[in-house]
């Protein structure tokens, strides 16, 4: 359709029909089966049949045959035969599940995330979907918040690269192309900083922190052309984001130049009443339309109030027209007026879903996401030894994460399956050792339809498992302990006040190390955990996040050394929960503490170190890398010059491997204080044993930009410190001056 035809169509639509475009409903209103996760109320009674007949979009239903049938029936009755948009949460894969986003972030490889998003787009579009509620680009610093699992971490630069890469992966050149899908970055804005890590809680960010850290990745996703943006549940400067005019109009539309479709989060428009901002649903609808929110996801505020608001002159019909125009443009961009089923095709579903190529990518992505936190000469495994796998993730298929809604855990390769297949000649033993959750512990809100792994175990059952495990531990040479959080302990509405591995597993761990110290721990988690005890007592620790469909195979490839681990932490792992939020790019203080200082009045804890247990950017390899001091090709530059910072990196160990060199800069004095380090670039380098390479980063004046005291973006002359190292804790650096 041409633009004039879309405008003409809007003019020809009745007001009721136009309002319908701005309403999004649950799939089960159209098809009697729930497929997604309903995170708010979803009662059909609140919605009139006339509204349903002209609805613009649907969430939480997928499947080629189903969506073709819904679309066919719907369009017959829609007065202008306008097709529905089908949307779904495709967070880290559709049927083939990749590692959870925090794990993808640990790969330090946005191109890999782009490839994964491309595969997810192919699989999801074959199942009839048009929009994915992804990527989530919220910056996260507080491991208590359950949704850190959906983010790529604490760094605005890294998150920005991932945001753009994923948008490009989903949408390609044009989301209307076959196998492509429209992206929707979320949650705009600041949702990643709920006070005390409690989901949906108030967000308190200074304008500077909000803009410099939190808005950066959204901006990159918008620049990459995301077709949609989703609002967030929190308030921004005291006004709920979903009705925040300054945020949506001034910042999102005007400053960031977003001209696509803005959708509310689930029920978020109505929730502005509970926030104490909108007095009633009518006011909530008026506020949201005024802020420029085009689609109301499941709060019925638009469907039940917009007509009245226009009739009483509280909203101008042109405001509605603007929203509808944006929605119809998106439908047009997706080619739905010509091909209302787009790529929905049962044949393609069968061909694509979980096909060997997709599984292979899931395996590679998982391998690259694992972070080796400790290795006391025990890995890679000596396969000639007697190896026992002891821990509740040994045979567990639930390793997809709580946001893999369309994935089927039964398609997952377990550790045991992979080990038996890959090590047919080794002497292997397997036992679960404990349940995942401590007996008596129930995950609130998940009582119904709890999976087997989440059922409540009795003390006796747990004791029996433990006794068996200890016997086995005594006989083995090497023990691999797959431990960690339950997959429902992270995700939405899964904030935690403790960052521990469930106590029943820690008891198992203690008993096993007591009888046999040759223990390698695999940590499954959707967030940084407090790993002090595990790190102290185990000989090796490998963080594997929620690794996805090929989790077991990827784990075995890394344990056996077929693949050398190379992941780096995208979020600091705290020493203890008392440090949270702890992140590398903090400001200095007037009384900075230097390790081992005897001074009393310094910015420090008296009972724990200031440093996290494992900092941002940290991760080991089976081999050793030596990195030379930084060499700068000049000591001074002017604004239009560039500077080359280089190091020589050498693989001095016994295995081929990949190291991620990270470039950090500090602006020493400026009109506002600057972080002690900021990531400005990174490079993954693959080296064989004995191989060396010179790696050069080009520093430009643009890389030194920040939000200056006068509110403008730019650099300021002065001295800058430069580091190139293999984590944010890298020591020595060099300096240059910008004139």
- Which CB sits closer to ligand BGC, 201 or 610? 201
Taking CB under 6 A as the rule, does residue 89 contact ligand BGC?
yes
Query: Please, which residue, 133 or 614, has the CB nearer to ligand BGC?
Result: 133
Q: What does the alpha-carbon distance between residue 179 and residue 94 come to, in Å, rounded to a whole number? A: 13
Q: Which residue in 36, 194, 197, 407 binds ligand BGC (CB under 6 A)? A: 36
Instruction: Please tell me whether residue 659 binds ligand BGC under the rule CB under 6 A.
Output: no
* CB 698, min distance to ligand BGC, A: 37
Question: 367, 360 in Cβ contact below 8 A?
Answer: no
What is the distance between the alpha carbons of residues 90 and 88, in angstroms, rounded to a whole number?
6
Decide if residue 201 touches ligand BGC (CB under 6 A): no
Element (H, E) at 223: helix 216-223
* 640 carries an active-site annotation: no
Query: Cα separations (Å) of 624 from 44, 374, 449, 692?
Result: 60, 13, 48, 12
Indicate the residue among 92 and 680 with the shorter CB distance to ligand BGC.
92
Residue 493 Cβ, how far from ligand BGC at the closest point, in Å? 8
Work out whether 133 is an interface residue with ligand BGC (CB under 6 A): yes
The CB-nearest residue to ligand BGC is: 39
Q: What span, in angstroms and rounded, lies between the C-alpha atoms of 539 and 14? A: 69
CA atoms in the 13 A half-sphere facing the CB of 122: 18
Q: Which helix (H) or strand (E) holds 117?
A: helix 110-126
d(CA 493, CA 486): 14
**Are the C-beta atoms of residues 302 and 272 closer than 8 Å to each other?**
no
Q: Pick from 623, 633, 631: which is nearest to 658 by CA?
A: 623
Instruction: Map residue 290 onto helix, strand or coil.
Output: helix
Residue 83 binds ligand BGC, judged by CB under 6 A:
no
Task: Give me the least distance between CB of 39 and ligand BGC, in Å please.
Answer: 3
Report how far residue 549's alpha carbon sits from residue 358's, in angstroms, rounded to the nearest whole number: 10
Least distance in angstroms from the C-beta of 264 to ligand BGC: 10
Enumerate residues 434-453 that contact ligand BGC by CB under 6 A.
Answer: none
- Count of Cβ atoms closer than 10 Å to residue 212 Cβ: 19
7, 28, 39, 652: which one contacts ligand BGC (CB under 6 A)? 39
Least Å distance, CB 72 to ligand BGC, is 25
- Give the residue with the Cβ less far from ligand BGC, 232 or 516: 232
Nearest-5° Cα angle at 68, 67 to 69:
90
| Relative orientation angle of helices 3-12 and 317-333, to the nearest 10 degrees | 130
DSSP letter at 630 equals P
DSSP annotation of 210: I
Which is nearer to ligand BGC, 168 or 265 (by Cβ)? Answer: 265
Q: What are the DSSP calls for 465-485, one per residue?
A: HHHHHHHHHHH-SEEEEEEE-
Cβ-based nearer residue to ligand BGC, 36 or 657:
36
| Of the candidates 11, 9, 38, the residue with the CA atom closest to the CA atom of residue 25 | 38
Output 240 or 619, the one with its CB closest to ligand BGC: 240
Q: Going by DSSP bridges, is the β-strand pair 387-390/428-431 parallel, antiparallel, or unpaired?
A: parallel
Report how many residues bind ligand BGC under the rule CB under 6 A: 8
CB of 38 to ligand BGC, least distance (A): 8
What is the nearest approach in angstroms of ligand BGC to the Cβ of residue 241?
12
Minimum separation from the CB atom of position 272 to ligand BGC (A): 15
- Residues 208-267 contacting ligand BGC, CB under 6 A: 265-266
Name, in order, each residue with C-beta under 8 angstroms of 658's C-beta and a sequence gap of 6 or more: 564, 566, 621, 684, 685, 686, 687
Site for ligand BGC in 168-187 (CB under 6 A): 186
Task: Please pick, among 138, 142, 155, 265, the residue that the annotation labels catalytic.
Answer: 265
Binding letters toward ligand BGC, positions 479-498, x by CB under 6 A: -------------x------
**Residue among 90 and 558 whose Cβ is closer to ligand BGC:** 90
Catalytic residue numbers read 265
Q: Which residues of the chain form contacts with ligand BGC (CB under 6 A)?
A: 36, 39, 89, 133, 186, 265-266, 492
């Amino acid at each position: 359709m041409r633009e004039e035809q879309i405008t003409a169509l809007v003019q020809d639509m009745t007001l009721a029909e136009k309002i319908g475009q701005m309403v999004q409903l649950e799939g089960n209103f159209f098809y009697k089966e729930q497929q997604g996760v309903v995170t708010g109320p979803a009662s059909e009674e609140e919605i009139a049949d006339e509204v349903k007949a002209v609805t613009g979009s649907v969430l939480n239903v997928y499947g080629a045959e189903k969506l073709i049938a819904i679309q066919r029936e719907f369009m017959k009755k829609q007065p202008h035969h306008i097709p529905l948009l089908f949307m779904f949460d495709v967070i880290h894969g559709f049927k083939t599940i990749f590692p959870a986003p925090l794990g993808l972030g640990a790969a330090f490889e946005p191109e890999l995330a782009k490839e994964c998003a491309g595969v997810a787009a192919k699989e999801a579009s074959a199942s009839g979907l048009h929009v994915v509620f992804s990527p989530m680009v919220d910056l996260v610093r507080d491991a208590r918040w359950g949704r850190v699992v959906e983010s790529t971490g604490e760094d605005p630069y890294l998150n920005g690269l991932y945001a753009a890469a994923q948008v490009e992966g989903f949408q390609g050149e044009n989301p209307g192309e076959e196998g492509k899908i429209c992206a929707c970055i979320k949650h705009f804005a600041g949702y990643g900083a709920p006070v005390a890590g409690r989901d949906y809680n108030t967000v308190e960010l200074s304008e500077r922190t909000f803009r410099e850290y939190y808005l950066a990745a959204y901006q990159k996703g918008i620049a990459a052309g995301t077709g949609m943006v989703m609002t967030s549940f929190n308030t921004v400067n005291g006004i709920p984001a979903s009705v925040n005019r300054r945020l949506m109009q001034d910042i999102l539309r005007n400053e960031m130049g977003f001209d696509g479709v803005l959708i509310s989060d689930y029920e978020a428009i109505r929730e502005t009443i509970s926030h104490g901002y909108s007095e009633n649903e009518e006011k909530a609808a008026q506020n949201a339309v005024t802020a420029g929110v085009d689609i109301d996801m499941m709060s019925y505020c638009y469907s039940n109030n917009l007509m009245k608001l226009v009739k009483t002159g509280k909203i101008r019909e042109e405001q509605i027209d603007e929203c509808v125009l944006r929605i119809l443009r998106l439908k047009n961009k997706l080619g739905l007026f010509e091909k209302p089923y787009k790529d929905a095709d049962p044949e393609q579903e069968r061909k694509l879903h979980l096909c060997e190529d997709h599984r292979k990518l899931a395996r590679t992505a998982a391998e690259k996401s694992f972070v080796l936190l400790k290795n006391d000469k025990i890995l890679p495994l000596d396969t000639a030894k007697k190896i026992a796998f002891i821990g509740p993730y040994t045979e567990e298929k639930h390793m997809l994460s709580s946001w893999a809604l369309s994935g089927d855990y039964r398609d997952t390769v377990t550790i045991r399956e992979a080990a038996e297949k890959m090590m047919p000649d080794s002497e292997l033993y397997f036992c679960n050792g404990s349940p995942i959750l401590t007996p008596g512990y129930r995950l609130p809100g998940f009582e119904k339809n709890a999976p087997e792994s989440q059922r409540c175990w009795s003390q006796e059952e747990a004791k029996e498992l433990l006794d068996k495990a200890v016997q086995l531990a005594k006989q083995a040479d090497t023990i691999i302990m797959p431990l960690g959080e339950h997959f429902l302990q992270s995700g939405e509405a899964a904030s935690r006040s403790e960052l521990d591995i469930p106590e029943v597993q820690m008891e198992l761990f203690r008993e096993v190390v007591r009888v046999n110290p040759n223990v390698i721990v695999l940590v499954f988690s959707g967030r940084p955990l407090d790993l002090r005890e595990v790190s102290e007592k185990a000989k090796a620790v490998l963080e594997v996040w929620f690794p996805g469909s090929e989790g077991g195979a990827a784990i075995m490839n890394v344990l056996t050394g077929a693949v050398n681990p190379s992941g780096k932490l995208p979020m600091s792992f705290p020493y203890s929960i008392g440090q949270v939020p702890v992140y590398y790019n903090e400001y200095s203080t007037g009384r900075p503490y230097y390790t081992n200082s005897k001074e009393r009045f310094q910015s420090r804890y008296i009972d724990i170190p200031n440093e996290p247990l494992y900092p941002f950017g940290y991760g080991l390899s089976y081999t050793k890398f030596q990195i030379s001091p930084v060499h700068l090709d000049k000591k001074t530059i002017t604004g239009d010059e560039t500077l080359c910072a280089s190091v020589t990196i050498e693989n001095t160990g016994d295995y081929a491997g990949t190291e991620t060199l990270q470039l950090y800069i500090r602006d020493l004095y400026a009109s506002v204080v600057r972080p002690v380090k900021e990531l400005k670039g990174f490079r993954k380098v693959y080296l064989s044993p004995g191989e060396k390479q010179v790696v050069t980063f080009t520093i430009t004046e643009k890389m030194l930009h920040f939000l200056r005291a006068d509110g403008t973006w730019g650099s300021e002359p002065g001295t800058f410190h430069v580091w190139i190292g293999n984590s944010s804790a890298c020591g020595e650096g060099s300096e240059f001056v910008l004139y």
